[in-house]
Structure 1
Amino acid sequence: MATGTEPHPNSGGVRTGTRAAIAAPHLRTDRWWLAPAATAAGLLAFVVYSTWRAFADARYYAAPYVSPFYSPCLAERCHTMHAGPNAPVFGSWWGISPAIIILIFPLGFRLTCYYYRKAYYRGFWLSPPACAVPEPHRKYTGETRLPLILQNVHRYFFYAALLVAGVLTYDTVLAFRDENYRWGHMGLGTVVFLVNILLIWAYTLSCHSCRHIVGGRLKHFSRHPVRYRAWGVVSRLNDRHMQLAWASLVSVALADFYVFLLASGAFTDPRFF
């Protein structure tokens, strides 16, 4: 005789004998799939665009702007091409696009970011696809096994992201030069770079790892007033971590695309002064 607690015929995930036996996959009647679908589409669009630009190995410099995808350009050919913050670590033997060297660090930071984990877990792996919608997987091991246990390197990618943000800040300062490297220039590209670096810093500093570094492991905030104030600022940024993650993702792609258009000769950078 049925007791009402038997596993569902398609038992898996949360459908076990200890859960309520509900025939429907879920009881939500709204369009819950829109959010994960939009997330997956947005992330996929960035992956496709950044992959194309990284392997293009061309049109990433238009004086005085250098694409954030290629900075700092560590290959020898970049060093001879423009006057940006370059160090020819890789000589003439390096035959792959210079962007492959540097993109490892900001992409590693974003891939292991707490928000982005949630975004692509839900958008691509349906784990879970939405609140109150059970995931289709039969078991859940979390981030305790390979490869997901490697997500714990996020705190180390944070330090690399700080260095990258510092280099992009220097690039933004250099954007106040004209095509002849004379100071006192400000064009539309300068504004694009300013907006991008502000969003990059806001996203980087809103990171959960940053919040822990600034104010974590303190037993008494009253004894550390400076760190407490800094923790408060980072916490307010952390409240907007999702919005900053998307805004900075769009801004860095737009900054690269702007340089691409200039380098392609699509138009001349409008100059304000």
Structure 2
Amino acid sequence: MTTTATTPGGRARAAIAARTLRTDRWWLAPLITFLGLSAWVTYATVRVFMHKWFFVEEFHYLTPFYSPCLTERCGAAAEFGTPLPNFFLIPEAAFTLPFLLLFRLTCYYYRKAYYRSFWLSPPACAVPDGHKSYSGETRFPLIFQNAHRYAFYAAVIISVINTWDAVLAQTTGLGLGNVILWINVIMLWAYTLSCHSCRHIAGGRLKHFSQHPVRYRFWTFVSKLNTRHMQLAWITLGTLALTDFYIMGLAADWFSDLRIIN
């Protein structure tokens, strides 16, 4: 005998006791996301509080995790002064890290990623939410997701600073570190410009693209990047970690930089 339940619209449907009828490995994607993000956050947290091995003065390699470097520990890496005290709980890039974190946390893709993998809200399509109630992004703390556009502006400034770091490093010659720095900068710009907010800024509220050819071309470019927003989000996590690890290895004398042009 089939048991029925009533939907909000008054229609009857079968009452299914099982959590989901999906027979595929729907849990694999959120599990991989959980492990990947957890590993990256752990690595980044450890690195920003190490307070060492972040700068190679000979080639002016500065890891993006410490840029701009703003404490007295920075030494020659302090291109913008040292307004921060040498306190253990204050990272060298304390002025920029909160904005970068806000930009990533409020990113549309990352919302989907950590909602599903950390909050199970929902963990996958056709799988019930792990919470009994959901108020959307209208209450604390999720209401701060609406600050994404403002975090985008800050991310653009930080990308400019990272580009400046790559330019300064280029003045010392050309090595593998320079190549890694530029790859990271290019990927960061691609991820930042592929942001949904950037796409809206470029073409939003325009009634006639023909009257705004420059904005239309930029909107078209950003729209193409936007289709790769998820991939760029993960690629930049990889390039950031690779750049930081390479510079850390050089600063710690684990290996030498492969020089192409001295």
* TM-score normalised per structure 1: 0.88
Contact 2:55–2:248, Cα closer than 8 Å, also in 1: yes
How many angstroms does 1:2 deviate by? 8.6
How many angstroms does 1:91 deviate by? 5.3
Q: Does 1:89 align with 2:83?
A: yes
User: Following the alignment from structure 2 to structure 1, what is the Cα–Cα distance between the partners of residues 30 and 186?
Assistant: 27
Q: Does 1:73 align with 2:69?
A: yes
How many angstroms does 1:103 deviate by? 1.4
Contact 2:62–2:77, Cα closer than 8 Å, also in 1: no
Structure 1 range deviating more: 131-140 or 243-252: 131-140
Q: Partner of 2:76: helix, strand, or coil?
A: coil
* TM-score normalised per structure 2: 0.92
Contact 1:205–1:234, Cα closer than 8 Å, also in 2: yes
What is the aligned partner in structure 2 of residue 5 from structure 1? 5
What is the aligned partner in structure 1 of residue 210 from structure 2? 222
State the one-letter code of the partner of 1:77: R
How many angstroms does 1:95 deviate by? 7.0
State the one-letter code of the partner of 1:107: L
* Runs (4+) off by over 3 Å: 16-20, 91-95
Q: Does 1:232 align with 2:232?
A: no
Within the candidate set 182, 186, 196, 1:198 is matched to 186
Q: Partner of 1:204: helix, strand, or coil?
A: helix
How many angstroms does 1:93 deviate by? 7.6
Report the RMSD for the aligned CA atoms in angstroms. Answer: 2.3
Contact 1:55–1:99, Cα closer than 8 Å, also in 2: no
Higher strand share: 2
State the one-letter code of the partner of 2:179: V
How many residue pairs get matched? 258
User: Following the alignment from structure 2 to structure 1, what is the Cα–Cα distance between the partners of residues 55 and 67?
Assistant: 10
Mapping of residues 120-135 of structure 1, within 5 Å: 120-135=114-129
What is the aligned partner in structure 2 of residue 181 from structure 1? none
Mapping of residues 81-230 of structure 1, within 5 Å: 81-83=75-77, 85-90=79-84, 96-178=90-172, 185-230=173-218
Tell me: CA distance 1:94–1:265, structure 2 relative to 1, closer, same or farther (3 Å).
Answer: closer
Task: Structure 1: give runs of 5+ residues left out of the alignment.
Answer: 8-13, 179-184
Q: Does 1:58 align with 2:52?
A: yes
How many angstroms does 1:92 deviate by? 6.1
What is the aligned partner in structure 2 of residue 242 from structure 1? 230
Contact 1:65–1:175, Cα closer than 8 Å, also in 2: yes
How many angstroms does 1:85 deviate by? 3.0
How many angstroms does 1:223 deviate by? 1.3
How many angstroms does 1:136 deviate by? 2.3
Percent identical pairs in the alignment equals 57
Tell me: CA distance 1:27–1:231, structure 2 relative to 1, closer, same or farther (3 Å).
Answer: same
Task: Structure 2: give runs of 5+ residues left out of the alignment.
Answer: none
User: Following the alignment from structure 2 to structure 1, what is the Cα–Cα distance between the partners of residues 3 and 73?
Assistant: 73
